[in-house]
Each structure stands twice: as structure tokens, then as C-alpha cells.
């Protein structure tokens, strides 16, 4: 099919030109939630579409190498297209794939992962396995904003405006119930104090809930009253904190109520998770992810780098004579050390790269587990890992591009990829987790 040229028309004298709608054919998914079409060779990124669809689009933003568009109408729909489950889908920026069946979503993510590896120069000697679970009500953590009238919502797909919600099918029901209750209760207080955002985190069975309430006010006067009212509505609330934000990136905790942590039960252990500490978000797949990372691994010494509260480290203590877990986030250190009490593991408060600099000439571990943030490891860290040359490395990644970059360095230094698993911790969204096992002879 020939694609029409981009047409423009002047809206009014003195105004910038605007693109008129045009018809495109959707080719494939790209990382970030959009899908690729081309007009005269130029890439156009169109969200909420599917490969093979013919779509009428309107260009929203022209860049040098690509354009961003919205779909105005699906002229020829894919057989894989389904009705979305959430009434807010499309306006809310949280989900990207609800218009596709779940098997199609997994196929989309596999295609993106394979292409990212190919572009990164990673030869895959093995097939990519897939680990998935129930694609609904899986999130154990959400953060909602409040609009000017106090209604809770997520940020919009095309803006930072708050899209009011009354449901979220990917979140644990308790979280939405608590957000709605918090919104109703907050309206009873003066507008000068009302929360701007709220973060909610629950354990797997929704029996314990932590809340972080964010405000632009410096006053903490009504916080206890607010929390007690919320506790009356949501009995599983075990702890809450009030955080003042100045809008320029700095924050300060003004008050605390109740417990500062909750117990998160897995098949093997009850983890202490403190307010604000990172923990895997998919409550259905925590145990499966844990086993995928540590299964079959044993030895004298293991390092767990970017350890968080010790999800992997605690499990590693069962099969290694000694475990060293390294974490730098202040919100996670105390819980990490608590979770390794009475084991052969120790938790260190340190940046990973600083730890590796100090220990690159020390005793070589049998296994290194890596679970870095989206930015990945970086060149110095991969160079230090290559120098240490541990026989086994397990890399848990939440960004395929930085994963491919780091794997290229590790493979180039002598590591071999043993297995690759796509772990779908974030159904309905473009986010994907990957677990890669590497071996060095």
C-alpha cells in the first residue's frame, strides 16, 4: 500500500502549520508502548495500535528522525484486537497494551526483546523462555495524584494532567479502595493541607498496607486525624507517613503513624519491607522470579548487588556458605540487614561500583546476582565484573536496551549466555523484566 504524504494546512494566519490526518500501515511494536509505521521512509510512532492495522493518524510532534502520532480511527483492525478491560484506558498513561489479548502482549514483548538484542549485537544461542502469571490485579504498589478537586488519578498519556479514576484492573483491589477512601477523607480538611499524591503498598494477600501521603504544606496538624479516619475505613492500614514536597525535587518526612514496615510473605520467608523501599511489584510472580534467579545455584560465596531488602540474598543463604548483599538506598538498608539476621549473609551499605572497586582483588565469588535500576550497570561496573570473573552471573534487568549494552561488554570479556527468560512482571504495560544466566569457564 502506498502511504500518503504528510499534508499540512494553516489553521489561522500567524499560527503554526498543523498536520492533516493521513492513513498508515502499522508494522511492528517498539519499546515504550508505541507501534511503528512509516511515511516516505520516516518512522511514525503510534500508540494503541497493533501490527497489520490500517490506521488514520494525526501527527502530534515532528522530530528530525521520527514523528509521534495519535490514532484517530482504526480502519482495518487486527484480529488480535480486543476491548480494553478498564474504562480509563487510552486517557490514563499507566497501561499500553490492554487492546491486545494477553498472548499477543507476550508475543509483542518477545519481539521487542529479540530485536533489542539484535540491535545491540547480542547473539542468542538459546531460545527466550517466558514466565508469566495472572495479568490482572497484580500490582502491590501504586502512586496516585489528586486533582484540584481532590479526585484520585494517574497522569495522562499525553500530559501530566491527572486523569481521574475509579478503578484500576492491574492493581490489587485494596489499593484502589484505600485511594478512594483517602480522597473522600481528605476533602474534609482545608485545601491548604490536602494531599497532592498518595503512594500505597500492600503485601500479597492484602492484609497489610503502608501509605505515604505527599503534600505541599509544611503543616502536619491534621495528619493523625486523617490517618485514623483512613484506618477506620481500611483496617489493613498498618502504617502511614506524611511527606512534604517543595516541587523542586526535595522532600522531608513530617510525621509518621503506626508501623514503618510490613511483612511480605513468600513461599520461603517473611520479608520486612520498609516505607519507600523497593520490592518487586507483581504479587503473583515474586516466588517464581525468585526461583528463576537462584535455582540450581550453590557454592562458597555469593554476592547480591543492588540487593534492595534482600529478596535474592535471603534465598541465596540457603545454598551458599556466605552471602554478601550490597545496597545503597537509605530506605532499604535496615530491612536488608534485618532480613539477613541469623543467617550466613551480611548486608552492606555501599554503592555497587564502590564495593567492586574495593573487592575486585579479594576472594572471587562463585555467583554474582545483579538487579540494577533502568540505567543498568555501565562501563566501569561491567569492566570490574569482567576483572573479578565470577564463574556465574545472573542479571535481572528492567530495561532491554541497557541490558543489551551491558551483555555486549560481559560477553565480550568471556561470559557465555546460558539462558534468557522474559518475566512479565508488568502485564498490560510495555515494561518487561529479563533474567539472564551467564557462565564463565
Tens of pLDDT along 19-65?
Answer: 678 999 999 999 999 999 999 999 999 999 999 999 999 999 999 99
Q: Is the pLDDT of residue 363 over 80?
A: yes
Q: Band the pLDDT of 18: cuts 50, 70, 90.
A: low
Q: What distance in Å separates the CA atoms of residue 441 and residue 428, rounded to the nearest whole number?
A: 39
**Distance (Å) of CA 265 to CA 6, 126, 199, 202, 283:** 55, 33, 20, 11, 10
Q: What distance in Å separates the CA atoms of residue 54 and residue 4, rounded to the nearest whole number?
A: 12
What are the pLDDT digits (tens) for 241-262? Answer: 999 998 777 889 999 999 999 9
Q: Is the pLDDT of residue 330 over 90?
A: yes
Q: Is the pLDDT of residue 287 over 90?
A: yes
Q: Is the pLDDT of residue 16 over 70?
A: no
- The mean predicted confidence, pLDDT, of the chain is 94
What are the pLDDT digits (tens) for 69-105? Answer: 999 999 999 999 999 999 999 999 999 999 999 999 9
Q: What distance in Å separates the CA atoms of residue 79 and residue 107, rounded to the nearest whole number?
A: 14
Q: What distance in Å separates the CA atoms of residue 187 and residue 366, rounded to the nearest whole number?
A: 56
Q: Is the pLDDT of residue 182 over 50?
A: yes
Please give the sequence-ordered ranges of beta strands (E in DSSP) within 63-118, or none if there are none.
66-76
- Residue 366 is given by DSSP the state S
pLDDT (0 to 100) of residue 9: 43
**235, burial (CB in 10 Å: exposed 0-12, middle 13-18, buried 19+):** exposed
Q: What is the DSSP string of 267-306?
A: SS-EEEEETT----SBTTTHHHHHHHHHTT--EEEEEEES
**Contact between residue 93 and residue 154 where contact means Cβ atoms under 8 Å apart:** yes
What residues have CB less than 8 Å from 98, skipping those under 6 apart? 84, 85, 86, 89, 428
Helix or strand holding residue 412 (H, E):
helix 400-412
Measured torsion, CA atoms of residues 361, 364, 365, 367, in degrees rounded to the nearest 10: 100
Q: Band the pLDDT of 191: cuts 50, 70, 90.
A: confident
Mean pLDDT score, 113-141: 94
pLDDT (0 to 100) of residue 244: 95
**Distance (Å) of CA 340 to CA 20, 35, 303, 334, 439:** 61, 44, 13, 10, 27
- Longest Cα separation, the chain: 76
The CA-based angle 74-78-84, given to 5 degrees, is 75
Q: What distance in Å separates the CA atoms of residue 31 and residue 288, rounded to the nearest whole number?
A: 25
**Distance (Å) of CA 159 to CA 12, 93, 414, 419:** 25, 9, 45, 39
> 17 by DSSP, 3-state: which?
strand
Q: Is the pLDDT of residue 109 over 80?
A: yes
Please give the sequence-ordered ranges of beta strands (E in DSSP) within 116-233, or none if there are none.
128-131, 141-146, 152-155, 162-164, 197-202, 209-215
What are the pLDDT digits (tens) for 302-325? Answer: 999 999 999 999 999 999 999 999
Q: Band the pLDDT of 199: cuts 50, 70, 90.
A: very high
Q: Is the pLDDT of residue 13 over 50?
A: no
pLDDT (0 to 100) of residue 86: 98
pLDDT (0 to 100) of residue 441: 74
Mean pLDDT score, 197-212: 98
Q: Is the pLDDT of residue 12 over 70?
A: no
Domains of the chain with bracketed CATH? 8-81 (2.40.50.140), 106-135+283-439 (3.40.50.150), 141-263 (2.40.50.1070)
Angle at which helices 379-388 and 352-359 cross, to 10°: 30
Q: What distance in Å separates the CA atoms of residue 323 and residue 293, rounded to the nearest whole number?
A: 15
Q: Which long-range contacts (CB under 8 A, 24 or more apart) does 254-257 make?
A: 254/215, 254/218, 254/220, 254/223, 255/220, 255/223, 255/224, 257/223, 257/224, 257/227
Amino acid at each position: 500500500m502506498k502511504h500518503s504524504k504528510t499534508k499540512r494546512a494553516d489553521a489561522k494566519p500567524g499560527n503554526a502549520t498543523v498536520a492533516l490526518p493521513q492513513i498508515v500501515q502499522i508494522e511492528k511494536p517498539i519499546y515504550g508502548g508505541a507501534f511503528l509505521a512509516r511515511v516516505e521512509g520516516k518512522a511514525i510512532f503510534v500508540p494503541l495500535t497493533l501490527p497489520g492495522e490500517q490506521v488514520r493518524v494525526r501527527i502530534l510532534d515532528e522530530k528530525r528522525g521520527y514523528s509521534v502520532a495519535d490514532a484517530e480511527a482504526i480502519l482495518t483492525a487486527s484480529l488480535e484486537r480486543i476491548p480494553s478491560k478498564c474504562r480509563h484506558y487510552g486517557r490514563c498513561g499507566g497501561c499500553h497494551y490492554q487492546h491486545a489479548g494477553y498472548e499477543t502482549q507476550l508475543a509483542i514483548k518477545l519481539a521487542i526483546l529479540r530485536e533489542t538484542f539484535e540491535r545491540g549485537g547480542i547473539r542468542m544461542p538459546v531460545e527466550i523462555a517466558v514466565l508469566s502469571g495472572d495479568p490482572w490485579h497484580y500490582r502491590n504498589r501504586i502512586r496516585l495524584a489528586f486533582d484540584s478537586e481532590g479526585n484520585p488519578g494517574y497522569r495522562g498519556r499525553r500530559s501530566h494532567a491527572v486523569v481521574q479514576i475509579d478503578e484500576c484492573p492491574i492493581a490489587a483491589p485494596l489499593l484502589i479502595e484505600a485511594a478512594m477512601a483517602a480522597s473522600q477523607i481528605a476533602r474534609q480538611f482545608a485545601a491548604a493541607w490536602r494531599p497532592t499524591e498518595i503512594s500505597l503498598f500492600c503485601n500479597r494477600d492484602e492484609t497489610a498496607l503502608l501509605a505515604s501521603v505527599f503534600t505541599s504544606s509544611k503543616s502536619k496538624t491534621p495528619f493523625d486525624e486523617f490517618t485514623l479516619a483512613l484506618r477506620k475505613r481500611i483496617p489493613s492500614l498498618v502504617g502511614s507517613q506524611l511527606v512534604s514536597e517543595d516541587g523542586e525535587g526535595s522532600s522531608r518526612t513530617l510525621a509518621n503513624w503506626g508501623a514503618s514496615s510490613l511483612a511480605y510473605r513468600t513461599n520461603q520467608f517473611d520479608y520486612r519491607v520498609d516505607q519507600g523501599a523497593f520490592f518487586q511489584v507483581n504479587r503473583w510472580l515474586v516466588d517464581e522470579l525468585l526461583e528463576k534467579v537462584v535455582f540450581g545455584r550453590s557454592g562458597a560465596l555469593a554476592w547480591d548487588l543492588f540487593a534492595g531488602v534482600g529478596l535474592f540474598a535471603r534465598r541465596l543463604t540457603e545454598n551458599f556458605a556466605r552471602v554478601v548483599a550490597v545496597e545503597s538506598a537509605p530506605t532499604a538498608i535496615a530491612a536488608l540487614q534485618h532480613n539477613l539476621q541469623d543467617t550466613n549473609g551480611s548486608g552492606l551499605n555501599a554503592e555497587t561500583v564502590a564495593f567492586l572497586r574495593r573487592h575486585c582483588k579479594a576472594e572471587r565469588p562463585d555467583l554474582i546476582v545483579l538487579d540494577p535500576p533502568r540505567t543498568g550497570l555501565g562501563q566501569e561496573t561491567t569492566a570490574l565484573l569482567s576483572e573479578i570473573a565470577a564463574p556465574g552471573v545472573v542479571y535481572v534487568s528492567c530495561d532491554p536496551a541497557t541490558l543489551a549494552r551491558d551483555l555486549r561488554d560481559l560477553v565480550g570479556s568471556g561470559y557465555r549466555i546460558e539462558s534468557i527468560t522474559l518475566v512479565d512482571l508488568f502485564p498490560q504495560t510495555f515494561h518487561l523484566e529479563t533474567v539472564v544466566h551467564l557462565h564463565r569457564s
